[in-house]
A and B are shown apart, each in its own frame.
Chain A
Amino acid sequence: MNIEEVLFEVAVELIDRAVKVLPRDVEDALRRAYESEVSETGLKILEAILLNVKTAREEGRLICQDTGSPVFFVEEGVAYPWRIDYRKVFTRAVSEATEKTPLRPNIVHPLTRVNTGDNTGFGNPIIHISKATGPLLKVSFMPKGAGSENMSSLHMLTPSEGAESIKRIVLSRVVEAGGMPCPPTVIGIGIGGTADEAMLMAKKALLKPLGKRNRDPVLARLEEELLEEINQTGIGPMGLGGRWTCLDVKVEYAGCHTASLPLAINFQCWAARRASAVIEPDGSYRVVQP
């Protein structure tokens, strides 16, 4: 067994799956939105979205033509027995999937705008590696569309302003963003840490299943209140008015400097695509989502 070959196959499968099969929790949330939407335009849009999700799944088509920036999250158990060159493996997998799935070649040099042709190069795919307890390897893939990513922001708040200013800023960002991030969105929020850590927490929050509240009761309440207030703005599906602006809000936090209060907001479109796999030391694996 060559672990890097296994991981290559896993990565190609995760990419293909993520861009064609929307996770069940996201589809369920969209269906609940459709069942309770009040705007006629909103209903028409949600109906098209649900039909699209079904068509993509059943016919093996792409859910969205923007197959995103390729982002991988690796959680490597401290007792996982293999050393793996993740960059080498994931780069090859993205290149392969770009051809086979196919993915739209999205990645360009940031200044010359020259397209690399296969979604790799200049630091792509994006890879976040962290350590976990235990003997397993968990890999998640998130194709991140630009429409929603472009609405993301970082705010270094004044600590004394606290939770109220967090809510005020998130709400005003949602209204400014309007239809651009393809609502109903999922909103990932990172509170605390440092500027870089806050942004990463906001992105990682988007990996969490929809509908489940944070275990911390203070954050759970913040998530609920934000979701409620965002859905009172009336921005609605695709920004054309309606009840459903946001499917869920996910908050992560970390301790921060006594003089700081970082707030990071990462928007995710309704096509909240992700897929994960858990790989055993012997190379067997299971796709755990969707």
Chain B
Amino acid sequence: MEFKLKTPVKEVSKLKAGDVVYLTGLVATMRDRATRKLIELAKGGLKPPMDLAGIPVFHCGPVVRRIESTWVVEAMGPTTSARMEPLLEDFLKFSGVKLIIGKGGFSEASTRLFKTHEAVYCALPGGVSAILSKAVKRVCSVYWLELGLPEAVWILEVDRLGPMVVAIDCHGVNIYSEVRREALRKLRGCR
């Protein structure tokens, strides 16, 4: 199935592993340091300055350039989500985010977290920043610039961001672990 999703994204159970998604609306970029900061704030009982309700979080460190008073995204694409895996459980719990976009996926152990929190993980092709940056309509705002340009949280308005593949759904299917399990079976079969 192919879906054209519009934000806010609050309910994702219709998305099944293998579906293709194009997203229109707002996304928040977030990687290692911002994810950690958000969790630390939440654990201290504090709210982050950005409203993430219904906003997909995108594992991405864009190349941005300031032209006079506006920020322009020169290039953007997904970063390796596995680096955020140790933070995933807390992130899903505290952020309430229902859609994570990244690349490379999470391990088999994380599959149940997506089920519990009724969230999905969508994979964008890695490194296709020339086409993805064209999907950015504008930079709406930026938070935590002190973390560095790639690590800051950029709220972006996007139009048909994709193609992304639903790689971990909220029904317990994780394409990465299925592919890996099959590959390991083949490797053992060779010997």
A192 interface residue (CB < 8 Å to B): no
Contact A182 B62 (CB under 8 A): no
In residues 3-61 of chain B, which contact A (Cβ within 8 Å)? Answer: 18, 20, 33, 60-61
Segment at the interface with B among A6-14, A75-83, A211-219, A236-244:
A236-244
Query: A44-B20, A102-B63, A104-B61 known; A182 and B127 CB under 8 Å?
Result: yes
B182 interface residue (CB < 8 Å to A): yes
Query: A65-B76, A105-B149, A178-B176 known; A232 and B186 CB under 8 Å?
Result: yes
Contact B165 A41 (CB under 8 A): yes
In residues 94-129 of chain B, which contact A (Cβ within 8 Å)? Answer: 103-105, 123, 125-129
In the complex, how many angstroms separate the beta carbon of B77 from the nearest chain A beta carbon? Answer: 5
Instruction: Indicate the member of B80, B127, B163, B183 with the most A CB atoms within 10 Å.
Output: B127
Task: Chain B residues near A240: list those with CB within 8 A.
Answer: 123, 165, 167, 175-176, 179
B130 interface residue (CB < 8 Å to A): yes
Task: Chain A residues near B126: list those with CB within 8 A.
Answer: 64, 147, 179, 182, 238, 269-270
Contact A44 B175 (CB under 8 A): no
Contact A61 B130 (CB under 8 A): yes
Task: Chain B residues near A64: list those with CB within 8 A.
Answer: 75, 77, 126-129
The complex places the Cα of A59 from the Cα of B184 at a distance, in Å, of 41
Contact B127 A239 (CB under 8 A): no
Contact A238 B74 (CB under 8 A): no
Question: What 1/0 mask marks residues of chain A from 223 to 251 whose CB sits below 8 Å from any chain B CB?
Answer: 00000010011111111110000000000
Contact B60 A65 (CB under 8 A): yes
Contact A55 B131 (CB under 8 A): yes
Q: How many residues of B contact A (CB 8 A)?
A: 47
Contact A48 B148 (CB under 8 A): no
Task: Chain A residues near B176: list those with CB within 8 A.
Answer: 178-179, 239-240
In the complex, the chain B residue whose C-beta lies closest to that of A45 is B125
A124 interface residue (CB < 8 Å to B): no
Contact B163 A241 (CB under 8 A): no
In the complex, the chain A residue whose C-beta lies closest to that of B190 is A229
B82 interface residue (CB < 8 Å to A): yes
In residues 92-111 of chain A, which contact B (Cβ within 8 Å)? Answer: 102-106, 108
Interface contacts (Cβ under 8 Å), in number, total 160
A63 interface residue (CB < 8 Å to B): yes
Query: A233-B187, A234-B179 known; A269 and B150 CB under 8 Å?
Result: no
The complex places the Cα of A233 from the Cα of B18 at a distance, in Å, of 19
Contact A180 B179 (CB under 8 A): no
In the complex, how many angstroms separate the beta carbon of A131 from the nearest chain B beta carbon? Answer: 34
A156 interface residue (CB < 8 Å to B): no
Tell me which of B33, B62, B165, B191 contacts A44 (CB under 8 A): B165
In the complex, the chain B residue whose C-beta lies closest to that of A54 is B130
Contact A179 B131 (CB under 8 A): no
B93 interface residue (CB < 8 Å to A): no
Tell me which of B61, B76, B125 contacts A238 (CB under 8 A): B125
Question: What 1/0 mask marks residues of chain B from 58 to 86 whose CB sits below 8 Å from any chain A CB?
Answer: 00111101000000001111011010000
Interface residues of B (CB under 8 A from A): 18, 20, 33, 60-63, 65, 74-77, 79-80, 82, 103-105, 123, 125-134, 148-150, 163, 165, 167, 175-176, 178-180, 182-184, 186-187, 190-191
Given known contacts A178-B180, A240-B165, A241-B178, what 19 new A-B pairs fall within 8 Å (CB)? A44-B165, A45-B163, A51-B128, A51-B131, A52-B128, A61-B129, A62-B130, A65-B60, A65-B77, A147-B80, A150-B80, A178-B105, A178-B179, A179-B105, A232-B186, A233-B186, A234-B179, A238-B165, A240-B175
Interface residues of A (CB under 8 A from B): 41, 44-45, 48-49, 51-53, 55-56, 59, 61-67, 102-106, 108, 113, 115, 145-147, 150, 168, 171-172, 175, 178-180, 182, 229, 232-241, 269-271
Can you give 28 contacting A-B residue pairs, CB < 8 Å?
A45-B163, A52-B127, A52-B130, A56-B130, A61-B133, A62-B63, A63-B130, A65-B75, A66-B77, A102-B74, A104-B62, A104-B75, A104-B150, A105-B148, A105-B149, A106-B150, A147-B103, A175-B187, A180-B104, A182-B127, A229-B190, A234-B186, A238-B126, A238-B165, A240-B175, A241-B175, A241-B178, A269-B126
